[in-house]
Structure 1
Amino acid sequence: MEYAASPPEQAIGRRELVVLIALLMSLNALAIDGMLPALDEIAHEFGVAAGNQRQLIVSVYLLANGIGSLVPGAFADRYGRKPVIMIALASYVVFSIIVALSGDFTVMLIARGLQGMLAGGLMVAPVALIRDRYEGDQMARMMSMVSAVFIIMPVIAPSMGQAVMLLAGWRWIFVSLAMAAAIAGLWTWIRLPETLTEENRQTIDVPVIVRNMKAALFNRASIGYVVGTSLLIGAVFGYVNSAQQLIGEHFGAGSWFPVVFGGTAAMMAVSNIVNSRIVTRFGARRVSHTGVLIFIAVSCAQVWAAINRDGDIYWFIPLMATNLALLGFLGANFGSIAMQPFANIAGAASSVQTFFRMFGAAMVGMVIGQSYDGTARPFAFALLTCSVLALLLVLYSEKGRLFRRLNKPLQPHVP
């Protein structure tokens, strides 16, 4: 069901909206994946000890991004989705430049943390905007279309970062991020409509905010999907954190790292496209529940390969590509199911759910990344553990029943 929540003068079409929202959300992916090929050079320039400490350039941003997502939802429910997006973009530009000019590793990490925190609105407000217009399987379809576009960024970001680094040095990677955010800001200012209606505007009042966030989080129909997504994304963040060491060093890919990383990540774009075509036919629950069961099976194969074929990249690549492909049938569907009961507090719901997804995923990903021991075994066991726990959480939300297709929310909208 599509809602006519945006102003009558709206001129933006669905395709343009998909691409614009994807660009906004992909800026976080660019800030994470774009500098992966430069981690060694950055660590060398700042005199950072070899090993897992260089992962902080990624994990600090991820943690701060999760924390920062708690704040924008309340403002998006009061002042609208568009102002929150514009402030997030301006902050992204400023701190990208500060990182590019930094001369100390600690200063760089602080700037990365502030950039990630203030960029939280780029994850929260776009989701609330989509929820203003869609619900249920239609929202899952829209989110899959957005994901199919913005997932292209993690695929090409390492190669882009490597190209920029080779031509002009690693600092210009961050200058490029600032330029991309500035272009997105201009496009947003000119074309993006405001979708928050007057009747759904909330007050900036701490008790109201706490009430809305509590309602959005402690809803049984949603919580299992929120935390389950956090675990699954956390496993992927663990892959991102340790990818340069795991692929480039352990599996010996060397300079082919961006190609291998991008090739496996590309499968998420393909599966999101497929999901957008099938989700309205079969339902978000049926598709995602099937996906998580297959994810567990593939993770079992990952554990076997890590023990019996350790160091063999020809086992790792197809299994990792399959794991990432399955996320295309999980992320958008889990997110739309979790948002379904909250049409009138979409900002608060998106904020608190994004926080638990991103902050929890960043913590899980940091633990997985820091557990890297020169083999693929810790990561393989983490994939299996996270996917099994995600299934148990989904069973909790669904009261023990999988594969149901519902035409209305499990819980009434929050008054």
Structure 2
Amino acid sequence: MDDVIIVGAGIVGVSTAIHLLRRGRGVTLIDRQAPGRETSFGNAGIIQREGVRPHAFPRDLAMLMQVGLHLSTAARYEPLALPRLAPALLRYWWASSPESYKRVVQSYAPLIARSIIAHKDLMDQAGPDAEALVSKSGWFLAFRSDEGLKKEAAKARADKEQFGISHEVVEWPELKRIEPDLKGGLAGAVHWTDPWTVRDPGALVGEYFKLFEKLGGTFVSGAVTALEQDGDGWAAVVDGTRHSGKEAVIALGPWAPDVLDRLGYRLPLFVKRGYHMHYGTEGGAKLNNLLLDAEVGYVIAPMARGIRLTTGAEFAMRDAAPTPIQLGKAEAAARQLFPIGERLDPEPWKGARPCTPDMMPIIGKAPKHRGLWAGIGHAHHGFTLGPATGELLAQAMTGEATAIDIKPFGMERFL
């Protein structure tokens, strides 16, 4: 029996395992996939130090009309899913009111502040192959209109004053110098200079997993069909075999309800689905930095496999069939700005971002059971916050003072 079994080998599970191993705990990590091949694999690859303001539910009428009429590229919904999603979305809308959102940001900002610190800690131990995947030149939040750029620049100045986040406002001539192959159509961009970007997010999780193995962790490949209390501890059943530990951590991202519901934790979780596709370029064009087309709602990023285009949010059931609509709209918009070429993947990648109605993750002890912990619900910032969440969970589980207060992220707020 190991000290801890961790269910889920995405960036949260792997990071938690490393931090526990470094504190002398024995760890068994379980997943049906290779580490980092699910939600941690299909993202824009930003360690979003600037992301102190989580994605709020839109409250302006124009945006709501765009989404409602399926005119938006940044967000869309599946009508048949709305009855099941409605209760969580209503709470999401309420938490996005100005006063509630202000409180969310106050709690969320210290967690985001740990993002690069915690990633750097793991990279330093993982070695040069992890470091080689990272660019520290920030990313560009680009705008097609002067009005949009001016509004975002004002927000960026406020975030610099309140949270110390660095940025530069780049007008079109300077942005064109930085990215010579952009076609045009942009007023400029806010260059967030503090974040790091990663050219292969799944590969970085793989490097962290190598560190996990080096530290003596055990990996079990297979689907967990049951997680049960086992005397004073816990047992995960995988292919008919029981794997026991004194404590258990659920780090299953969008699949967490499959386990938590059976244990009596019916949390108001929902998913925002997203897609990505890799492209070649025309005429040897090169994209030097990640760029988010803010007024349309997609990202293009230079990745190991090519130019990765990632879509906005799709409100649908987790396991529903994929839809090509958002990717098609985003691709058409991206071709206006940059000479992307042929698709390089046989099919778009589809994943699900695990979300909570108040936009904050669940980090800490499950209140109804002894020895059960969770690190879930990171929405758009799972890749950013995985190592920080792992650090905080390991500190709480071993009785250390946590690097920040984790009470705002407690599961009991939903029970």
Q: TM-score, structure 1 length as denominator?
A: 0.24
Q: Would you tell me which structure has more helix in proportion to its own residues?
A: 1
